[in-house]
Amino acid sequence: MVTRGFTGRQSTDNHSDRIPPGQHLVENFPVLSAGPTPRVELESWKFTLKIGPRPVKFWTWTEFNDLPQTKMTRDIHCVTSWSKLNTVWEGVTVDDIFADAGIEAPTAFVLAHSYDGYSTNVPLADLASGRAMVAVKYEGQPLAPDHGGPARLLVPHLYFWKSAKWVNGLQFTERDEAGFWELRGYHIYGDPWREQRYAND
């Protein structure tokens, strides 16, 4: 399922210092998914925080949106070679999720889970300290299903497959467990500035 050839085009504009190697700038927002788009009703949406298999706390859609809301403007980079600058998101930082659950992180590793069965691993250090959020709005509007709505994880400094669409939970794990794409040959970490697309990159 891994496809080579993500060479991209070199950027020639004055934003070149913000575009990682092998990437090219886009103005649109391409839609890429591993499978069909799930349709999640807000009345049944639930976000769960787990330590291993044990649920610690869950939030309904209303409860989640009552948490502190943060706006974040970031550049994003897809492993398929496109980059989009100055994207504007709103949602709940992972720090605020942990704070509302009243826990301190018990391990250094996290798996994000989604409604379509997708998962991806992200080190705790890349989620904490204001680096990541669960986004519910994009450009001031509710997040569209094709882009991961009602809610998606946003980890903008890593390749965008780490920003799991249709997210419904975070799970602390004892080790750095590979998720969907990582099990299929993608890099375990995914730093776009180091071109960590595949397992041996």
pLDDT above 70 as % of the chain: 93
| 84-100 mean pLDDT | 98
**pLDDT for res 14:** 60
Mean pLDDT of 67-95: 97
Q: What's the mean pLDDT in 94-123?
A: 97
pTM score of the predicted model: 0.90
pLDDT higher than threshold 70 for residue 171: yes
Asked if pLDDT for residue 165 goes beyond 80, the answer is yes
Q: Give the pLDDT score at 36.
A: 81
pLDDT of residue 16: 80
pLDDT grade for 5, boundaries at 50, 70 and 90:
very low
16-68 pLDDT, tens digit per residue, is 899 999 999 999 998 877 778 898 999 999 999 999 999 999 999 999 999 99
Kindly state the percentage of the chain with pLDDT values over 90: 86
Looking at residue 23, its pLDDT comes to 96
**Cα separations in angstroms, 138 against 89, 90, 93, 128, 197:** 5, 7, 15, 21, 26
Q: Is 35 or 81 the better-scoring residue by pLDDT?
A: 81
